[in-house]
């Protein structure tokens, strides 16, 4: 209610407003119509003065730094003589002057070790240092050369002084609004990479391009401003190596995880397992809520924000029939006793590595006979996949092993219109009606990691120690599927684990989260009391 101080009606008290004149103020300045910023000289002098000195950097080197140097060297070796541009990216607008939380491009995170919200607009550049082109810009100290072929420089927007207008008035970058950015020294110390002001980026990119023989490559779709600068610089130049080749190389660079990455994956998986326990504890609240799936989603999401950076992808909380929609992320349904609820969720840790785990749980803690039968079939498929996910086999063998079990069970249940062997042949594939997705994908900084790798290095690749991928078979019977007996309809089951390939086999990183039906029931009973 409006507060009236003089007892008059609004009609008689309000002064007459001039009729609005459309178009008399540029649209881009209208955001300032909602509040008034002081602009007196006295205010500016006052707010920019009287602050204590900033401490010298105390930023400790990241434990990732030695590993990122090796990654940069491996990438550089594939592009001798080329200048490689890897932007972190910029803010994405959520609505008018409000942005989404910043997350750097995964290739940038992989090569710098920066994670969480670091660092908007930063650009990593690998300058070629071969004999033909001499030193890269600014380079004379040998220490900063990270490889035989390139010198890495991180161009960043450093912390603005408190004597600048940005300090107090810029809601996107200003220290008053979003906190102090790291300094050039801070970032050099953390990453082990030479740093430079972003203002020098354009000239640094242009040096020796074209006549000078340096080719410029940029990661596609990471930062449209940086991409436009690159396009302008190389406009007249012969294409040669393409940006697509760079994107492919960056993806393939992540096919084998180093020990630092494996440690990060373990942290992500462990935090995810703890998140699933929180979800089970929240089930009584979920069943009592009209949108119980949201209770599950928000429970896991809160845990992910508290223990990590965020969820690594949108959580799937799918109860009953919703579980038959593979990427059900509306999560606005009820959660009912007697149903199964499929929860596909992963914590992304601060370094941006994510887990990707699915459990299908009986809402009231006990599987019915038919739920257990379907669940066991999926579990057997997963176990068959685990058995062949070992060095020397091919990545595609993992899916094939799971499909043999799925097809066999569907055959036993009388659901296949053809013999199992015919279904498993390339000309058949009828069993895929009930599992249209693949069994495995690489996992890491992206939930679907290494997505741009060539087929011969992905699906057709020989499995090697250091690979981390999912095993996630499922069976999904829609409620209006007339080709399955009624008792199966509306049941969807997926079991998803994260596997690390070792020298002599594999390790299920998510093994601590129960997956056998009896173990699931016992675990839930323990949590629900
Ligand atoms: N969460 C998506 C997937 O399992 O691939
Ligand atoms: Mn998943
Ligand atoms: Mn997955």
pLDDT (tens, 9 = 90+) of the chain, 529 residues, equals 333 333 344 444 556 676 666 677 888 777 778 888 888 999 999 999 999 988 887 889 999 999 999 999 999 999 999 999 999 999 999 998 899 999 999 999 999 999 999 999 999 999 999 644 444 444 444 344 457 899 999 999 988 889 999 999 898 999 999 999 999 999 999 999 999 999 999 999 999 998 888 999 999 999 999 999 999 998 766 655 799 999 999 999 999 999 999 999 999 999 999 999 999 999 999 999 999 999 999 999 999 999 999 999 999 999 999 999 999 999 999 999 999 999 999 999 999 999 999 999 999 999 999 999 999 999 999 999 999 999 999 999 999 999 999 999 999 999 999 999 999 999 999 999 999 999 999 999 999 999 999 999 999 999 999 999 999 999 999 999 999 999 999 999 999 999 999 999 999 999 999 999 999 999 999 999 8
Contact present, 218 and 233 (Cβ < 8 Å): no
Cβ atoms 262, 500 nearer than 8 A: yes
The residue to mutate among 313, 315, 469, having the most atoms of ligand 1 within 8 angstroms of its beta carbon, is: 313
Tokens of 278: 């929180």
- Nearest Cα neighbor of 354 from 257, 246, 279, 281 is 257
Domain spans in the chain, listed from the N-terminal domain onward: 65-252, 259-528
Distance 345 CA to ligand 3 centre (A): 9
Protein residues placing their CB within 5 Å of the ion ligand 2:
344, 356, 496
Task: Enumerate the H helices of 236-392 as residue ranges.
Answer: 243-252, 259-281, 283-288, 292-307, 369-388
Count the neighbouring beta carbons within 10 Å of the beta carbon of residue 235: 8
Q: Are strands 474-477 and 468-471 parallel, antiparallel or unpaired?
A: unpaired
- Residues 488, 478: Cα–Cα separation, whole Å: 8
- Asked if 228 and 100 count as a contact pair (C-beta separation under 8 A), the reply is no
Q: Of the CATH numbers 3.30.750.24, 3.40.50.720, 3.90.230.10, 3.60.20.10, which one belongs to the domain with range 259-528?
A: 3.90.230.10
Q: Separation of 448 CA from ligand 1 center, angstroms?
A: 8
Q: What are phi and psi of 281, to 5 degrees?
A: -60, -25
Q: Which ligand neighbours the alpha carbon of 358 most closely?
A: 2
CA 499 / ligand 3 centre spacing (Å): 11
Q: What's the CA gap between 63 and 9, in Å, rounded? A: 67
Beta strands in 118-163 (DSSP E): 123-128, 150-156
- Cβ 446 under 6 angstroms from ligand 1: no
Q: How far is CA 400 from CA 387, 404, 437, in A?
A: 12, 6, 12
Mapping DSSP to helix (H, G, I), strand (E, B) and coil, where does residue 110 land?
helix
Superfamily of structural domain 65-252: Creatinase/prolidase N-terminal domain (3.40.350.10)
Cβ of residue 449 lying under 6 Å from some atom of ligand 1: no
Q: Which tokens in the block code for residue 70?
A: 């090796």
Give residues whose Cβ lies within 5 Å of ion ligand 3.
Answer: 356, 470
User: Which residue's C-alpha comes closest to atom 4 of ligand 1?
Assistant: 356
Mutate to test the pocket of ligand 1, among 323, 354, 451, 472 (most ligand atoms within 8 A of CB): 472
């Amino acid at each position: 209610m409006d507060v009236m101080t003089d007892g008059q009606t609004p009609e008689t008290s309000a002064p007459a407003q001039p009729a609005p004149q459309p178009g008399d103020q540029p649209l881009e300045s209208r955001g300032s119509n909602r509040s008034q910023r002081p602009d007196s000289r006295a205010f500016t002098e006052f707010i920019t003065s009287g602050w204590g000195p900033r401490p010298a950097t105390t930023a400790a080197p990241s434990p990732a730094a030695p590993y990122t140097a090796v990654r940069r060297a491996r990438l550089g070796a594939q592009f001798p003589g080329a200048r490689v541009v890897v932007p972190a990216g910029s803010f994405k607008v959520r609505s008018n002057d409000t942005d989404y939380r910043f997350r750097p491009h995964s290739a940038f995170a992989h090569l710098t070790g920066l994670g969480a919200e670091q660092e908007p607009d930063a650009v990593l550049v690998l300058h070629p240092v071969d004999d033909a082109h001499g030193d890269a810009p600014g380079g004379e100290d040998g220490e900063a050369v990270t490889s035989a072929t390139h010198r890495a420089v991180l161009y960043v927007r450093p912390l603005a002084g408190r004597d600048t207008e940005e300090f107090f008035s810029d809601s996107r970058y200003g220290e008053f609004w979003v906190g102090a950015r790291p300094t050039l020294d801070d970032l050099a110390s953390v990453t082990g990479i030479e740093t430079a002001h972003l203002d020098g980026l354009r000239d640094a990119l242009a040096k020796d391009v074209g006549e000078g023989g340096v080719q410029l490559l940029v990661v596609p779709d990471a930062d449209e401003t940086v991409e436009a600068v690159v396009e302008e610089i190389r406009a007249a130049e012969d294409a040669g190596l393409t940006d697509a080749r760079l994107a492919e190389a960056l993806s393939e660079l992540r096919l084998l995880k180093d020990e630092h990455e494996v440690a990060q994956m373990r942290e992500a998986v462990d935090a995810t397992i703890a998140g699933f326990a929180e979800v089970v504890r929240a089930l009584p609240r979920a069943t009592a809520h009209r949108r119980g799936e949201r209770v599950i989603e928000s429970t896991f999401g809160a845990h992910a924000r508290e223990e990590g950076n965020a969820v690594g992808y949108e959580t799937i909380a799918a109860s009953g029939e919703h579980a038959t929609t593979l990427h059900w992320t509306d999560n606005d349904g009820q959660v009912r006793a007697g149903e199964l609820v499929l929860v596909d969720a992963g914590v992304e840790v601060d370094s941006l590595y994510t887990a990707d785990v699915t459990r299908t749980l009986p809402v009231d803690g006990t599987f019915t006979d038919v739920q257990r039968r379907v669940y066991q079939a999926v579990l057997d498929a997963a176990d068959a996949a685990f058995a062949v996910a070992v060095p020397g086999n091919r990545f595609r063998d993992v899916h094939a092993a799971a499909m043999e079990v799925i097809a066999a069970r569907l055959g036993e249940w009388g659901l296949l219109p053809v013999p199992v062997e015919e279904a498993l042949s390339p000309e058949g594939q009828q069993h895929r009606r009930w599992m249209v997705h693949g069994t495995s994908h690489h996992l890491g900084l992206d939930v679907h990691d290494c997505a741009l790798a060539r087929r011969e290095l992905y699906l057709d690749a020989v499995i090697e120690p250091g690979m981390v991928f999912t095993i996630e078979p499922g069976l999904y019977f829609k409620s209006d599927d007339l080709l399955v007996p009624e008792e199966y309809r509306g049941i969807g089951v997926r079991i998803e684990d994260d596997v690390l390939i070792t020298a002599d086999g594999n390790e299920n990183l998510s093994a601590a989260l129960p997956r056998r039906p009896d173990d699931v029931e016992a675990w839930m009973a323990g949590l629900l009391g």
